[in-house]
Structure 1
Amino acid sequence: MKTIATTLLLLFTALSMAQTPYEKAMGNALELLKTDNKAAAQQFERISKAEKENWLPAYYVALANIRSSWGQHGPEETLATMKQAQEYITLTDQLSPNNPEVMVLQGLLNTCWINYDESIYGMKLSAATSALYEKAYAMAPDNPRVVSNRAQWLMGSARYFNKDVTPYCSGLEKAVALFGEETATGFEPSWGLQGTIDAQKDCQ
């Protein structure tokens, strides 16, 4: 009897640890995202093509490309990554409409465009980006990525106009607390804590 119970326990343990191909691929891609945005984007893109109704792989394609668009590459490569990021944000928005997580990505990508060419995109995207973050915040005031990136956008705007960033530091403090309370489910977004902590340096 004891042997049967042990065998069943081992069987259930093995089944619980077994991963589907999707889970394995997503896990590997998320690990890549920590060190190689380009390779991660390619992996997530392959997953997205296989999981056509799932918004998460497309979301991470966009995120990986956004992370490659902060000026660390030449103009042509940066332009290509921003265009691909927009393509997958649009796809993600179609798969998961009115999702604050996707609004954050669009806000970040808009900032990339402004950094890329402020003379063209500064006036064009600034008001739209502010409106986007306010919409996301109204929908999800306890989402740490929404709270953090909204605060960072407002701080960036304040710096541009030579204003004090201090009024927005409380938003970063709130975001850090929310990150501590967040419980990620599956492959749902959970990034952003370190960037928030780094942003707090401007508050010291």
Structure 2
Amino acid sequence: MKKLVLIMFVLCSVSIFAQTAFEKVMTEKIEKLEQSKTAEDFTAVSNDFVRIGDKEKTEWLPYYYAAHAMIEKGRSLMRAGKLSELDAVAAEAQTSLDKAYSLSKDNAEILILQKMIHGLKMMVDPQSRFMSEGMLGADALGKAEKLDSGNPRITLLKAEDTYYTPEQFGGSKTKGLELFQKSLDQFKVYQSKSALHPTWGKGEAEYFLASKP
């Protein structure tokens, strides 16, 4: 009996140590992602997350963050006008997101990133790709909302779309700002499932609301 108790104690100790080590390295890399600014920074931290995911094998969050880092790289390239590079970046993000999805289906956070990947691909040629990538992105966001309607990142992406879409196509800066405010209100009450789960987006909502005319 004592031997069995000792074995159970050792197994529990190993499990707790492994989980603690995982949480520590993930926290460090998430902080690195939050501090990243250049395309090179985002590539490096994405690769870090992929290595963590490949080592852990059963955790979806490393692949999620690997995809998120590549999406942020794409957004930085988009702001720099380097639209021709977005397809390749979106493909890398998709590879990581597919791995996350294989480990955690019906996950609103993964669907939110899927919407963002379609958005990157659409921006290469908005006029010709809206009916394909734009519609696929809207479908992904709709599925995410059914799973987690109070998620502020869903409202944030709706706000972006509304704010940047020309009025003749149904957009509105005024309505976009209203959605940014709704997103910010949701951030104040939304509870992430753990310290490692996504929390990004609040800063962007605050930025738009602070810069409104």
TM-score range for the pair, normalised by the shorter chain length = 0.7 to 0.9
Determine if contact 1:148/1:196 at 8 Å carries over to the other structure: yes
Determine if contact 2:164/2:171 at 8 Å carries over to the other structure: no
Determine if contact 1:53/1:95 at 8 Å carries over to the other structure: yes
- Aligned pairs (5 A) from 1:38-57: 38-57=43-62
Q: CA distance change for structure 1 residues 87 and 170 in 2, over 3 Å: closer, same or farther?
A: same
Q: CA distance change for structure 1 residues 160 and 51 in 2, over 3 Å: closer, same or farther?
A: farther
Question: What count of residue pairs does the alignment treat as equivalent?
Answer: 189
CA shift digits 1:76-105 (9 cap, x unpaired): 654332111011111212211111111110
**RMSD of aligned residue pairs (Cα, Å):** 2.7
User: 2:63 matched to which residue of 1?
Assistant: 58
CA shift digits 1:47-89 (9 cap, x unpaired): 0101211110000000000000122485665433211101111
User: 1:90 matched to which residue of 2?
Assistant: 98
User: 1:121 matched to which residue of 2?
Assistant: 129
Determine if contact 2:86/2:121 at 8 Å carries over to the other structure: no
Determine the C-alpha separation between the residues in 1 that align with 2:81 and 2:161.
22
2:153 counterpart SS class: helix
What 5-or-longer segments of structure 2 have no aligned partner? 1-15
User: 1:189 matched to which residue of 2?
Assistant: 198
2:43 counterpart letter in structure 1: K
User: 1:109 matched to which residue of 2?
Assistant: 117
User: 1:179 matched to which residue of 2?
Assistant: 187
Determine the C-alpha separation between the residues in 2 that align with 1:51 and 1:160.
49
1:187 counterpart letter in structure 2: L
With normalisation by structure 1, the TM-score equals 0.80
**1:188: Cα distance to partner?**
0.4
1:47 counterpart letter in structure 2: I
User: 2:108 matched to which residue of 1?
Assistant: 100
Determine the C-alpha separation between the residues in 2 that align with 1:99 and 1:19.
22
1:141 counterpart SS class: coil
1:68 aligns with 2:73: yes
Q: CA distance change for structure 1 residues 120 and 131 in 2, over 3 Å: closer, same or farther?
A: same
Determine the C-alpha separation between the residues in 2 that align with 1:28 and 1:80.
27
2:165 counterpart SS class: helix
- Aligned pairs (5 A) from 1:1-40: 20-33=20-33, 34-35=35-36, 36-40=41-45
Determine the C-alpha separation between the residues in 2 that align with 1:160 and 1:116.
21
**1:173: Cα distance to partner?**
1.4
Identity fraction in percent: 26
Determine if contact 1:166/1:203 at 8 Å carries over to the other structure: no
**1:160: Cα distance to partner?**
6.9
**1:120: Cα distance to partner?**
4.1
**1:158: Cα distance to partner?**
4.5
With normalisation by structure 2, the TM-score equals 0.77
What 5-or-longer segments of structure 1 have no aligned partner? 1-15
